[in-house]
Structure formats: C-alpha cells, structure tokens
Amino acid sequence: MTQEAGDPDGPQSLKGGGGSREYMSGFARGRVDLDCESCGFNMRRDTDFGTEADGSHTERYCSICYAGGAFRHPAATVDEFLALSIEEFALARKSAAGKLRLTMKKDLPRLPRWRK
Ligand SMILES: [Zn+2]
C-alpha cells in the first residue's frame, strides 16, 4: 500500500531517463547509432546504412562501404581498402584525404572487418 503514493509518473521517469520518445523520433526504424564494421563511421540515419542485395539495410556497414549485398571496395587489407576508398571518404566527411588516411589507417585494424 505504501508504494501507491499517488505519483503515477514516478516509476516511469526512473526507467528511461526521460526524452526517449524524442530520441527515437530521429530513427525511422528505432535504430540507435552503430559504427560501420569496415570504416568505423558512426551511422545514425537510414541513409548512412549500407544495403543488402534485396535493398534492405544492414546494421553492420555504412553506405560507402557496402551496397547491394557486397563491399564496394573489395580489399584484403586496410591499405588496399584505403587506396580504393579514401577519396570517397574524404568527400563524405569533408576532410582532407591525407589527414583522414592517417586516422583511418590507425583506427581501422581494430574493426571487425579487418581484425584477424
Ligand atoms: Zn563504412
């Protein structure tokens, strides 16, 4: 009886930390940010995600790395990958290719696609 103190909002506000509805509204399918397993790009919008052969989105890779069910830059190593893709990433991220390459060369080996 003592729990029912007449504050129906109490238990709810404890749960979600508030604002969860507003948070979700930015994601068409309720997805939260995920990092591409190939380039580390933080994907938030539907258009950030790569597509499978059937046109559905994958949560594993971004649209630059993966489209139509296949990697857009087939590569066995990070170096090969960057050689093929760095200009595109530089454009997409509005970064200088040289600087971006250094960052990605350092970060990419930790990602699932490149981890041995
Ligand atoms: Zn990617």
Confidence bin at 24 (pLDDT 50/70/90): very low
Count CB neighbours of 66 within 10 A: 24
Secondary structure letter of residue 21 according to DSSP? H
Asked whether residue 49 carries a pLDDT value surpassing 80, the answer given is yes
- Domain-by-domain residue ranges, the chain? 27-110
Q: What is the pLDDT of residue 1?
A: 53
Q: Is 62 helix (H, G, I), strand (E, B) or coil?
A: strand
pLDDT in tens, 67-102: 999 999 999 999 999 999 999 999 999 999 999 999
CA–centroid distance, residue 53 to ligand 1 (Å): 17
- Residue 63 alpha carbon to ligand 1 centre in Å: 7
Assess whether pLDDT exceeds 90 at residue 39: yes
Q: How far is the CA of 32 from the centre of ligand 1 (A)?
A: 16
Rounded distance between C-alpha atoms, residue 108 and residue 94, angstroms: 19
**What number of H helices and E strands is found in the chain?**
4, 6
The band of 33, judged by pLDDT with boundaries at 50, 70 and 90, is confident
